[in-house]
Amino acid sequence: MVLPGGIDPHTHLQLPFMGTRSADDFLRGTQAALAGGTTTIIDFAIPQKGGSLLDAFDTWRRWADPKVCCDYSLHVAVTWWSEQVKEEMAILAQEKGVNSFKMFMAYKDLFMLRDPELYAAFEQCKETGAIAQVHAENGDIIAEGAKKMLALGVTGPEGHALCRPEAVEAEATLRAITLASAVNCPLYVVHVMSKSAAKVIADARRAGKVVYGEPIAASLGTDGTHYWSKEWHHAAHHVMSPPLRPDPSTPGFLMNLLANDDLTTTATDHCTFNTCQKALGKDDFTKIPNGVNGVEDRMSIVWEKGVTISAKTHHQAVNFNIFEGMVCHGVPLVTISRGKVVYEEGALSVTPGHGKFIPRRPFAEYVYKRIQQRDQTCTPTPVERAPYKGEVITLTSRE
């Protein structure tokens, strides 16, 4: 079968995060993407709180351009709010080819935004013709839950799942949809991990909201029972946020919603850490760098079945594969990127820098046509009335 090259709309290559940097850089990560039939990735430029979005964008371009072996584009994260951020979002949308901004509702004190900041960011996405993306989890509940787990002596990776039950994801998903809908901004919920959050998205779509949900290879291909593995490193390698869910019917449920168009895209959130990096949290699950693999495995996981996936043979830099031993029948034999055979018979032939940055236009019709129709039909109008001519009481300071 000849398929179009895959697009993975959510990766984090060489991301500085939780005291370390993700193991797959823009070279290894894009080589692994090609080996898995993916010819374009969309990564995230993430400024620190207080940092310039334009500087972050330039930094990520500088890291990526000389190394990328497949094409790539960039989302930009909004991790704090100010007039400067607002202006930089407009410049990114108008001049730099960025039409998507990610806001975090988790990672308290690091990246998390509060509701008024989310509201303002969504308004600016709408104004600039971008789509708002959210990491939907309630960061306050997680912070309190994590303290509780540690106080109970639950220091292992199971604590990561226990302090973020499904409702924590579903609540934030509904809150994001409510906020985005209030300003009629299109919304894209990244890494949908639970049945509860997926149901919230499906309901909102049926109610006419312009919202899209992104399950990932991990949530479609494995589950959260691994957090209870007796082997610490095995459990830790599954730590990501939101967590994989212990309910083993989750992957099948999400796959069905994907087939139904209740969920829309499939990504990976590829953000890998080797065992020695995961071990930063060996005595405290809150310090385990969050993230799993998938950029090489996604196409096979989604189309299902065929070879045996293994960390021993994969091209990703990380020394663990969360799909280890999974049998799939649908595996890329040859990958063509920019008219060149870059992967064949298990071997890569591609030079760093072969990939190109793909700018994206604001007001994309696929998303904004419905937004504009909703603006026309849903804008409230005042009721025509004769003015009130009667008495009005006078307020005194004590009243």
Q: Which is nearer to ligand URP, 110 or 336 (CB)?
A: 110
CB of 356 to ligand URP, least distance (A): 24
Strand segments, DSSP code E, in 71-127 are 71-78, 100-104
Angle between helices 83-95 and 53-64 (to 10 degrees): 40
CB of 74 to ligand URP, least distance (A): 14
Q: Which span (148-156, 224-232, 360-368, 369-377) binds Zn ion, by CB under 5 A?
A: 224-232
Residue 355 site contact among ligand URP, Zn ion, none (CB < 5 to 8 Å, cut-off depends on kind): none
Residue 291 site contact among ligand URP, Zn ion, none (CB < 5 to 8 Å, cut-off depends on kind): ligand URP
Residue 229 site contact among ligand URP, Zn ion, none (CB < 5 to 8 Å, cut-off depends on kind): Zn ion
d(CA 317, CA 312): 11
CB of 351 to ligand URP, least distance (A): 28
Selected from 67, 126, 135, 164, the binder of Zn ion by CB under 5 A is 135
CB of 47 to Zn ion, least distance (A): 15
Q: Which is nearer to ligand URP, 110 or 154 (CB)?
A: 110
Residue 274 site contact among ligand URP, Zn ion, none (CB < 5 to 8 Å, cut-off depends on kind): none
- Cis preceding-peptide flag for 9 (omega within 30 of 0): no
In total, the chain counts a number of residues equal to 399
In the range 135-174, which residues lie near ligand URP by CB under 6 A? 135
Binding mask 8-37 for ligand URP (x = CB under 6 A): ----x-------------------------
SS3 per-residue string spanning 167-223: HHHHHHHHHHHHHHHHCCCCEEECCCCCHHHHHHHHHHHHCCCCEEECCEHHHHHCC
CB of 187 to ligand URP, least distance (A): 16
Residue 224 site contact among Zn ion, ligand URP, none (CB < 5 to 8 Å, cut-off depends on kind): none
Q: Calculate the alpha carbon distances from 3 to 37, 270, 332, 347 in Å.
A: 9, 22, 9, 19
As beta bridge partners, residue 112 has: 104
Q: Which residue has the tokens 């704090």?
A: 80
Q: Which is nearer to Zn ion, 96 or 191 (CB)?
A: 191
Cβ contacts of residue 15 below 8 Å, gap of 6+? 21, 22, 44, 46, 271, 291
Amino acid at 221: G
CB of 217 to Zn ion, least distance (A): 12
Q: What is Dmax (Cα atoms) for the chain?
A: 87
In the range 169-228, which residues lie near ligand URP by CB under 6 A? 191
Q: Which is nearer to Zn ion, 260 or 308 (CB)?
A: 308
291 binds ligand URP (CB under 6 A): yes
d(CA 310, CA 288): 23
Tell how strand 71-78 and strand 16-17 pair up. Answer: unpaired
In the range 243-282, which residues lie near ligand URP by CB under 6 A? 269, 271
354 binds ligand URP (CB under 6 A): no
The token duo for 348 is 């890569």
Give the 3-state secondary structure percentages of the chain, helix then strand then coil, rounded to 5.
Answer: 35, 15, 45
Amino acid at 163: C
In the range 320-379, which residues lie near Zn ion by CB under 5 A? none
- Coil vs helix vs strand at 62: helix
* Number of residue whose CB is nearest ligand URP: 290
43 binds ligand URP (CB under 6 A): no
Under the rule (CB under 5 A), what is the footprint of Zn ion? Answer: 135, 226, 229, 269
Under the rule (CB under 6 A), what is the footprint of ligand URP? Answer: 12, 135, 191, 240-241, 269, 271, 290-291
